[in-house]
Amino acid sequence: MKKTKNKQNNQRSFYFNEYNQNLITEKKSGVLNISHDRIYSLFFIFLCLIFIFATKIFFISLKSYDSKSQFKNHNTYETSRNDIVDREGQYIARNIPVFHAAIKPSLVKDKKRFLIKLKLIDPSLDYVKIKKNLDKNSYFYIKKNLTLDEKNKLWSLGEKGLLFEMSETRIYPHKNLFSHVLGQIDSNNNGISGVEKYFDKDLKQNNRQSIQLSLDTNLQYLIRDELFKSISVFRAKGAASLLMDVNTGEILSLISLPDYNLNTRKDIKDKSFTNKITKGVFELGSIFKTFTIALALEDNSFSPNTLVKNIPDKIQCSKFTIKEHDEMPNTLSLKEILIRSSNIGTIKVARSIGENKLKKFLENLNLLNTINFELHEVGKPLNFLWNKCKLETVSYGHGITTTPLQAASAYASISNGGFIVNPTLLLKKDLLNEKIRIVSSKTSKNINSILREVVSNQTGTASLAEVDGYQVGGKTGTANKNINGKYTNNKLTSFISVFPTNKPKYLLLVLIDEPKPAPDLIYNYRGKKISGISRNESGWNSAYVAGKIIKKIGPILAINKNDFYDNHVVKKSD
């Protein structure tokens, strides 16, 4: 009985036997072999994929990493307005990326704690206003035009409700320095004044092409500094200056004071901020005598040494009496009339030339019409009738208006050999343009020689403009300001200088608005130290300031002159 029981315990179940039998049958039929092939196929596919990825990684690792390219692709911000640079390529206006910081109150969990953390980061914010806006639960800005550093400081708070919007803004690195040239843009990125307005379309082109101006930042800074000193010394209302290349018309510096910070985006309405060089229309006084004398030479009716006799101290013209500003000899040569700045002597010369010739000459010098220039802020000379005493008064600069820019351009045209100069704010690449002659080279040389004596001669009116080594020549101009049709005791003084007079390269105009006498100022007058001067004519302020400026900028111009002038070519012969 036991044996039988053991056999039963060791015997496999019916179901197991059936399964085992089926397995053997499947092996014989080849079904199991098919399953193994699938496994092998999948393994092969995975192996291929691994090989492909490994190969790709290998080749990527061999490829050199271009860090500059990566930076360009991920960090370059395409601005909507092109840059403006000076003649040396320095940025004077450009757009940069900025951030606006905003708050979405619904995402701020602990508002009190958030305000505390925010105050630690930036105490200058208006937290009373921020708290009110937080309580309103509406989206609002806490600060705009953040730099990247300012944005990162706020971001470090880790506040979900603090959001950042990327934008751009126009910056002017030199603030006030180029305000009257560059002008401003509005909130919609449109130019509204200055170069920004004149070249608005070019600046908006998405071609990353900068507008390069002829201005020199270093010269601009040095001249502006001297003008500010002049306003303080002479207690003046304002001042202005223009530095020009007499051969190309390129303007190296243009300043009008007072000026303003372009980065503040203020609406400028005060007329004292008018661009005095391009927009201001003034009677400039005796600087017009140079035009009268130049015409007399060009007309061949006078030579520099031609004597003009019987010059009275005063003359009657219609109901007006015209006097000399200082005592004069009754006989002067043509050049002495300009050197001493004789009113009556100039009138006698003008009468011998005639009204028609003088009028045409002034028109050809573009002194009577609106000048073409790369700014919309350009003044128009006032119209007048050539009647009664107009020939006489115009000859010495009374009763005729123009802009300082036009007067400077006329001087450049006469002094550069006699070729018309068109002033420009753009750096000229091609100096081979044909020139139009306005006076002969002989007349030009004679005028330059006389202008030199205005400064160097003991009887000249501009001795204070003398600077050793630069052969400065020029002409002073003093005029009483006409306000609302009436002449006042307030003066506008100007001095236009050219240097070096043996071969002029530069023109410097200095204008001072309503200067006062400076009796405490110690002048170096013809080799002597003097003070206590109670006069406020151009020779005692504008000429003095011009001398100070030339002494400062002369070394820079001497270094750079080859860059400016060696390629200058004149096609048209004398």
3-state secondary structure 259-300: CCCHHHCCCCCCHHHCCCCCCCCECCHHHHHHHHHHHHHHCC
Q: How far apart are CA 257 and CA 252, in angstroms?
A: 17
| Predicted pLDDT at 354 | 96
Kindly list the averaged pLDDT for each block of 10 residues, start to end, along the chain of length 574.
44 42 46 62 78 74 44 53 95 91 89 88 88 88 85 87 88 96 90 95 89 97 98 98 96 97 82 95 97 97 96 90 93 97 97 96 97 96 92 95 98 97 87 82 98 96 95 97 90 97 97 97 92 96 98 88 42 35
* Alpha carbons 302 and 298: distance in angstroms, whole number: 8
The fold of 219-565 is: Beta-lactamase (3.40.710)
Give residue for tokens 């009664």.
388
Ramachandran angles phi, psi of 483, nearest 5° = -120, 120
Query: How is the chain split into domains, by residue range?
Result: 219-565
Are the C-beta atoms of 277 and 405 separated by less than 8 Å?
yes
Q: What is the reported pLDDT for 381?
A: 96
Q: By C-alpha distance, which of 287, 285, 335 is closest to 308? A: 335
Instruction: List CB contacts of 21: < 8 A, sequence separation 6 or more.
Output: none
What's the one-letter identity of residue 50?
I
* pLDDT attached to residue 187: 79
- For 163-179, give one letter per residue: b (16+ CB within 10 A) or e: eeeeebbbebebebbbb
Say which residues have a Cβ less than 8 Å from residue 261's Cβ, sequence separation at least 6: 172, 175, 176, 179
Question: What pLDDT score was predicted for residue 539?
Answer: 97
According to the model, what pLDDT value does residue 309 have?
96
Q: If you search the block for the tokens 């002094």, which residue do you land on?
A: 415
Read off the pTM: 0.80
Q: Is 376 strand, coil or helix? A: coil
pLDDT value, residue 75: 46
